[in-house]
Amino acid sequence: MASAQRRHLFISHHHKDDALVDKFVKLLGGNGWDVRNSSIRAKPENQARLDKGLIKDSVIRRLLRMKMSWASTVVVLIGDKTHTRPWVNWEIDQAHAQGKRIVGVFEQGGKDADIPASLEKYASAIVGWNSNSIQKAVDGGENNFENPDGSTRAPVNASTSSVC
């Protein structure tokens, strides 16, 4: 049996979508990838501290930058509330500042969820919940922009690619 191909990802998501992160990792694992996720998933006691504002934003930003720098690609899981989360937009902006590839993935079931504003600006690809599409987008093989159902649509940003 061949060994799994390891990918270091930072999976940006709304913390209430932690179960979706597990499904995402399992989906790619079933297709031959060993996904190492460097994103923050707060334990309940730490989440309570975060919710009460007991952890300074500067500490969170520093931790997120460190964890993101380890990843080759930032994946944004797009659920129905993702676009309302300020930390998700901050993570996308930071990924762009670090020169990371940024891939949006619509949650399983494909709802017409709003895309976070920063993803509109900086996405390299946005795909539906399909392991082959996700893997091609993460590895940079395709820069497809899809609707939640996987059908093709126009790119969300006006950025162009150039070779220097």
- Per-residue pLDDT reduced to its tens digit, 33-74: 999 988 877 666 766 777 777 888 898 899 899 999 999 999
In this predicted structure, the answer to whether residue 158 has a pLDDT above a threshold of 60 is no
Residue with tokens 């017409």: 112
The pLDDT mean for the chain works out to 85
The pLDDT of residue 109 is 77
Say what percent of the chain tops pLDDT 70: 89
**pLDDT, greater one: 91 or 50:** 91
Categorize the per-residue pLDDT at 12 as very low, low, confident or very high, splitting at 50, 70 and 90: very high
By the 10 Å C-beta count (0-12 exposed, 13-18 middle, 19+ buried), 110 is classed as middle
Domain borders along the chain are: 5-138
User: How is 25-54 classified by DSSP, letter by letter?
Assistant: HHHHHTTTEEEEE-S----HHHHHHHHTT-
Lowest mean pLDDT among 131-140, 145-154, 155-164: 155-164
The pLDDT of residue 71 is 94
Q: CA 131, CA 128: separation in Å to the nearest integer?
A: 9
Pick the CATH number of 5-138 from 3.20.20.70, 3.40.50.800, 3.40.50.9200, 3.40.50.720: 3.40.50.9200
The pLDDT of residue 39 is 84
The pLDDT of residue 161 is 44
- Indicate if the alpha-carbon torsion angle 94, 100, 59, 53 is positive or negative: positive
